[in-house]
Amino acid sequence: MPTKIYNPSKIEKKWQKWWETKKIYEVKDKVKGRENFYHLVMFPYPSGDIHIGHWYNFVGADVFARLKKMQGFNVLSPIGFDAFGLPAENAAIKRKIHPQAWTFKNIKKMQKQLRSIGAIYDWSREIITAEPEYYKWTQWMFLQLYKKGLAYRKKAKANWCNNCRTVLANEQVIEGKCERCDSITYQKEIDQWLFKITDYAERLLKDIEKLDWPEKTKIMQKNWIGRSEGWEIQFLIPNQEISISIFTTRPDTLFGSTYMVLAPEHPLVDKLTIEQKEKEVERYREKTKRKSELERIGAGLEKTGVFIGAYALNPVTNERIPIWISDYVLLGYGTGAIMAVPAHDQRDFEFAKKFNLLIREVVRGPKSGPLEKAWEGEGDLINSSWFTGMASGKAKDEIGEYLKKRGLARKKIYYRLRDWIVSRQRYWGAPIPIIYCQDCGIQPVPENKLPVKLPSLSNFKPAEDGRSPLARSKKFIQTKCPNCHGRAERETDTLDTFVDSSWYYLRYVDPRNHRHFAAKKKIESWLPVKMYVGGAEHTVLHLLYSRFFAKALNDAGFINFKEPFLALRHQGIILGPDNQKMSKSRGNVVDPDELVKKFGSDAVRLHLCFMGPYDQGGPWNPGGIIGISRFLNRVFNFANNFGKTIKNEEIKIDLSLFHQLIKKIGEDIESFHFNTAVSSLMQILNWLEEQKFVSREVLEIYLKLLSPFAPHLSEELWHHLGFKGSIHKEIWPKYDVSLIIKKEVQIVVQVNGKSRDVVTVPSGFSKDEIQKLAESEEKVKRYLTGKNIKKVFFVPDRLINFVIE
């Protein structure tokens, strides 16, 4: 009799093909009796390879999607590619291959790799953001925001390499130097398009409360938006008609403000700097341009700055205080100027120490004696004239109100959030659909002229003047004004790829619609997304931008919801051998194809699920996958031998553990605790192998429990049992509540909190009964005899603790 051998690569290919020809994963917009469930996983960037970090993301998401499907939902779980972006251009310049060719070659390879996962993707809904049918609608989105006044032009900073004459991404600046030519980079002001996300700051902050998102993600977004309530206060310049406006949340420390600091780029610096200081100030400003923001604001860094020779008046003390410039003050936050209170702000303290500026304590801290560092907490005011003795909290308002009466202050809310710069001086992106006419000014491209197609170029370096490579194409630039039909020029910048991904979830519900980004009916039947799965590294940018888009589209009447992703779960980040995030650009990726070849897709899936908590991630460690492989083999053998040795179904076996674990596996998948779910599957198998008799029903249930994790093997064994249909159309097993109640429990007996014994009793025993029993146990008696029992703690069905002298 030939024994069947588990050959994963053979059966996996077989079933993948079968599923495809039977179209079992095809998603219909409406299925009778099934509620729609939109389950979204963050789409990959086509870097060239699906690495093990992608698998980790997709497998967990797929297990969850399969559970939802088996629970009776009509599940949409689509896939696509976030296909525009910088690496394609780098590849083009380095390897002389067109970004489009490079991107689509990668996509082809990755499609194949993705199929090997065996996920329930409906490939007929695939989207690729670099295709004109897609970016037509990205451009359309831009136009809607423009119409609503949410897109505008402004000068903004970009990294600039003077040698390459090009704008650089942050990633291309290595320690202040250009990645390609090693020359020092500058911050250069250029004309940019921005989205007014700050208009939505308050709503983005408020609506986040309602979302079923990880608490840490919500906190990070809130901190990113950074609402702070405070006061805007005017510091007058003696003998001049101007004043410097500052923002502070601590007016209570105003008496301790002994100098001011402006951002080097602050517009008043030119007006205020005295002649003798001009050269020094100019030199400092030049130096600042070479620093990135991160290099400027670090508190541990040595403070730098220049006194500009001018003074302002402290509005409460009327002292003349010196005005400095320093790069630790940023123009982009608050008013770009601060009142420095060295005794109560650590960065001001470091600055004052370095330049020997006056430090005056005005809030009583916990320590007395000379200050070693700033006291940033609250307390009673000291050295504050008639406010001395008042508590900080009260003094904030009192001092604010006092200045308000004199017209020197007003209450103000500031946000840390800044508007979103969406223009890029690059080739591989969606062209911004704007036309510049000498007579009519800025003109949006009419919607019926979309898409503005990306021309095919051969040189992808930005133009010498820093403009986008598109500026090289005369054919592209020259056009007619949609308003006066005279000669006009196209915008040559392209859109940030985050714009593409801010709305992609909308396109999946109706990916081939030529007349609209999606039909209203389909939007309403699927959206918003019920579960979104992706990396925690997207917490503040992609996830915030998408929320902003949804709100703006809702305001414009295009969609009927205000939040795109009702629930969100993160997979942890898989680290490469260098202990850093796995990514193609770092060159530390681990290719799963070899593992799939060796152990099979199901084994890789199980291993990724079993490795550890899904949201934790950590260094990639293939050790242990052999254990998974053994486990699957045992399942295969158990199920195959089942038919031969069976089985008297009348013999009753204790199913309580089985039903407890059915419950646990369902709950674990629902809560993304895949590792403990897999461990439960192993426990069931251990239990099954111990049983003398197992009914066919138990085996069928077991295969269903396994099917979200090992879709291929479970399908194979399902068919061995004689079924003709797919196991993936089955309903998730229910557990029997009456069977999961424990009849016997083990009670831990502690003396003074130390475990001394365990007694097994029927569940529901009373405190008195258990106390009596425990006191009679030899191991416990030993500790109790001759001692006075002060107190007895009892936790029903769990524990009893004797507290003795």
Partner RNA sequence: GCCGAGGUGGCGAAAUGGUAUACGCACAUCACUUAAGAUGAUGCGCCGAAAGGCAUGUGGGUUCGAGUCCCACCCUCGGCACCA
Whichever of 358 and 792 has its CB closer to RNA, that residue is 792
Give the whole-angstrom CA distance, residue 251 versus residue 256. Answer: 10
| 364 vs 607 by CB, closer to RNA | 607
In the complex, the smallest distance separating the C-beta of residue 373 from RNA, rounded to whole angstroms, is 11
Would you say 380 and 392 are in contact if contact means Cβ atoms under 8 Å apart? yes
Stretch that binds RNA, among 20-28, 102-110, 334-342, 419-427 (CB under 7 A): 419-427
Of the two residues 222 and 404, which places its CB atom closer to RNA in the complex?
Answer: 222
Min. distance of Cβ 515 from RNA in angstroms? 27
- Bond before 528 cis per omega within 30 degrees: yes
Phi first, then psi: what are they for 534, rounded to 5°?
-175, 180
Question: Which one, 155 or 512, has the nearer CB to RNA?
Answer: 155
The least distance separating RNA from the CB of residue 297, rounded to whole angstroms, comes to: 6
Q: Which of 624, 725, 762, 764 binds RNA (CB under 7 A)?
A: 624
Task: Give the total of residues touching RNA (CB under 7 A).
Answer: 97
Sites for RNA among residues 550-609 (CB under 7 A)? 573, 575, 579-581, 583, 585
User: Applying CB under 7 A, does 633 fall inside the site for RNA?
Assistant: yes
Binding to RNA by residue 763, rule CB under 7 A?
Answer: no
Question: CA angle, 617 as apex, 635 and 75 as ends, to 5°?
Answer: 65
Measured from the CB of residue 22, what is the shortest distance to RNA in angstroms?
33
- Residue 579 or 788 with smaller CB distance to RNA: 579
Rounded CA separation 566/37 (Å) = 11
Residue 610, CB-side half-sphere exposure with 13 Å CA sphere: 24
Site string for RNA, 174-193 (x = CB under 7 A): ----------------x-x-
- Is residue 154 packed enough to be buried (19+ CB in 10 Å), middle (13-18) or exposed (0-12)? exposed
**Contact of 508 with 80, CB cutoff 8 Å:** yes
Q: Indicate the burial class of 281 (C-beta count within 10 angstroms; 0-12, 13-18, 19 or more).
A: buried
* Residue 538 C-alpha from the chain's centroid: 3
* Span 425-484, contacts to RNA by CB under 7 A: 425-426
Among 748, 761, 773, 784, binds RNA (CB under 7 A): 748
Give, as ranges, the residues between 310 and 349 that touch RNA (CB under 7 A). Answer: none
377 is a contact residue toward RNA (CB under 7 A)? no
Burial class (CB in 10 A: 0-12, 13-18, 19+), 598: middle
CB nearer to RNA: give 721 or 761. 761
Q: Could you say whether residue 385 binds RNA (CB under 7 A)?
A: no
In the sheet with 789-795, reading across from the earlier edge strand, the strands are 754-762, 744-751, 799-804, 789-795
Considering the complex, what minimum distance in angstroms separates the CB of residue 541 from RNA?
A: 5
CB of 603 to RNA, least distance (A): 11
Among residues 395, 509, 536, 699, the one that binds RNA under rule CB under 7 A? 536
Among 265, 345, 496, 602, binds RNA (CB under 7 A): 496
When asked if residue 497 is in the footprint of RNA (CB under 7 A), the reply is yes
Q: Provide the minimum distance between the beta carbon of 668 and RNA in the complex, in angstroms, as a whole number.
A: 8
Alpha carbon distance 721, 714 (integer Å): 11
Residues 640-699 that bind RNA (CB under 7 A): 673, 675-676, 678-679, 682-683, 686, 689
Q: How far is the CB of 461 from RNA (least distance, A)?
A: 14
Asked whether the beta carbons of 340 and 348 are under 8 A apart, the reply is yes
User: Could you say whether residue 546 binds RNA (CB under 7 A)?
Assistant: no
DSSP string across 204-249: HHHHGGGSB--HHHHHHHHHHH-EEEEEEEEEEPTTSS-EEEEEES
- Closest alpha carbon to 67 in 606, 534, 669, 604: 669
Choice between 507 and 522, CB closer to RNA? 507
From the list 55, 9, 122, 63, the residue with the least C-alpha distance to 705 is 63
Distance (Å, whole) CA 645 – CA 695 = 11
Contact mark string toward RNA, 23..62, x via CB under 7 A: ----------------------x-----------------
Q: Which of 261, 395, 488, 611 binds RNA (CB under 7 A)?
A: 611
Name residues whose C-beta falls within 8 Å of residue 736's C-beta, 6 or more positions apart in sequence: 655, 659
Q: In this structure, what are the phi and psi dihedrals at residue 643, rounded to the nearest 5 degrees?
A: -65, -25
- Write out the binding residues for RNA, residues 201-220 only, by CB under 7 A: 215-216, 219-220
- According to DSSP, the β-strands at 423-424 and 494-495 are antiparallel
Contact 485, 509 (CB under 8 A): no
- Among 75, 79, 86, 399, indicate the residue that binds RNA (CB under 7 A): 86
Which of 202, 191, 85, 133 minimizes the C-alpha distance to 583?
85
From the CB of 646, what's the least distance to RNA, in Å?
Answer: 20
Of the two residues 170 and 385, which places its CB atom closer to RNA in the complex?
170
Q: Smaller CB distance to RNA: residue 558 or 674? A: 674
Residues 397 to 416 in contact with RNA, rule: CB under 7 A:
416
Alpha carbon distance 543, 553 (integer Å): 16
Q: Tell me if 293 contacts RNA by CB under 7 A.
A: yes
Give the x-and-dash track for 124-163 against RNA (CB under 7 A): ----------------------------------xx----
